[in-house]
Amino acid sequence: MEPALLVCIIHINDCVVAVGVLAGLVIQYCLPFGPFSNKGPPMTKKYDALALLSGGLDSILAARTIMDQGLTVLGLHFVTPFFGNPELIPFWKEHYGIDAVAVDIQQKYVDMTLNPSQGYGKWLNPCIDCKITMLSHAMALLPEYGAKFLISGEVVGQRPMSQREDALNLITKRADVRNVLLRPLCAKKQPITPMEESGLVDREKLHDWYGRGRKEQYKLAEHYGFTEIPTPAGGCCLTESSGAARFVKLMSHRPVPTPNDFSLARSGRQYWNGDHWLIFGRTAPDNDKIESCIQPTDYVLKLVDFPGPLAVCRPLSGDWELDVIKDAAAFVASYAGKARKAYEETGELVKVTVLRGDSEEIVEVIPARETALPWLEPKPEIVREWKKEQLEADA
Ligand code: SF4
């Protein structure tokens, strides 16, 4: 109720004053989102369709193809420890004209990645289960946005694992999206969908792409006048040998890692000595990413007098001995050029702060790449062996 209305009532009748004030208070404070309020919860904008939007070229073209028919599309940008760049959402709006929201599915995605029903691709990519997970999550979001169907940028035959005809059918079936999923880039190579049958979507304006070629994609991107052409997919480190090696190393020491563990495993430089896991930044953005992953039980190493990497020692099986922490600190300090140079010139030990929760102490070390304990990077060769062990364990 507006204050002006209350004042007006006061002038008419004292008896009505109480009722008016009370009603005003009730409306103002007890029914903040009621029909008389102009506050109300933010209305969720409605869309005709929700699109899986990795930020890869195909996902962008699929969304634009449907938008060209005058339908409204909201991109769902899934964020997991392995992929997701929500900071690019404003750029996608500005450059490609696509509305998008970030959708956090970290825990659900990690649970799936640890045991994908259809197994892994070449490295640690569970592509079929990945698509099932995202589509079924998107399906559950349809009512929230009033949307009638889903879009994904797959092209039959484009990728060996998840875009074979049989894989696409399996994904559709397992995600239970047969009646609501449209793949605009290869729709004319697919059976007609209810959206086309009903006339909601004009099948004639969809594409009939097939196979691994990229010519049609680039032609359409040029037609739209895109000056920034992203890679086909959105950048997924599960398909990379180095990423897979990092995650397998982690899983072989911690069978059920958390999303935070995986995010940390994706960051900066990674070194292991037994089950001692040491992570430190290569660049300032690496340091920021590592800092965002810090847990109260981590040992955090920072050089006191010199710029250098931020390092985290994450205990996986009990506290670390001081000797091991000092060894890690010496190794990390060797990646700080100014600290190394100062030691070489003066012979003075380099001070490193060790923070853990509320405790803090300073250790003094000689920067060294070869320390008493060997710190080794995970090698891609471990991935095949680990996958073999998993298969044997499941048999
Ligand atoms: S490449 Fe990565 S994001 Fe793409 S389907 Fe495979 S696992 Fe999912």
pTM over 0.75, yes/no:
yes
pLDDT tens for residues 208-249? 999 999 999 999 999 999 999 987 655 799 999 999 999 999
Average pLDDT over residues 2-7: 34
Residues of the chain with CATH 3.40.50.620: 49-237
Q: Mind listing the pLDDT tens digit for each residue in 27-74?
A: 333 333 333 344 455 678 999 999 999 999 999 999 999 999 999 999
- In the predicted model, what is the mean pLDDT of residues 117-128? 95
Percent of the chain exceeding pLDDT 90 equals 82
Indicate whether residue 239 lines ligand 1 (CB < 6 A): yes
Q: What's the whole-number average pLDDT of the chain?
A: 90
pLDDT at 393: 86
Ligand 1 centroid to 52 CA: how many Å? 12
For ligand 1, whether the C-beta of 83 sits within 6 Å is: yes
- Ligand 1 binding pocket includes 131 (Cβ within 6 Å): yes
Helices 57-67 & 89-96 angle (0-180, nearest 10): 50
- Ligand 1 centroid – CA 132 distance (Å): 11
What does the pLDDT look like over 129-177, one tens digit per residue? 999 999 999 999 999 999 999 999 999 988 877 788 999 999 999 999 9
At 316 the pLDDT is 96
CA 91, CA 60: separation in Å to the nearest integer? 12
The pLDDT of residue 359 is 96
Confidence of residue 6 (pLDDT cuts 50, 70, 90): very low
pLDDT at 230: 86
Ligand 1 centre from 268 Cα, in Å? 22
Q: Which atom of ligand 1 is nearest to the CA of 83?
A: 3
CATH 3.40.50.620 fits 49-237, yes or no: yes
Reply yes or no on whether the pLDDT at 354 is more than 50. Answer: yes
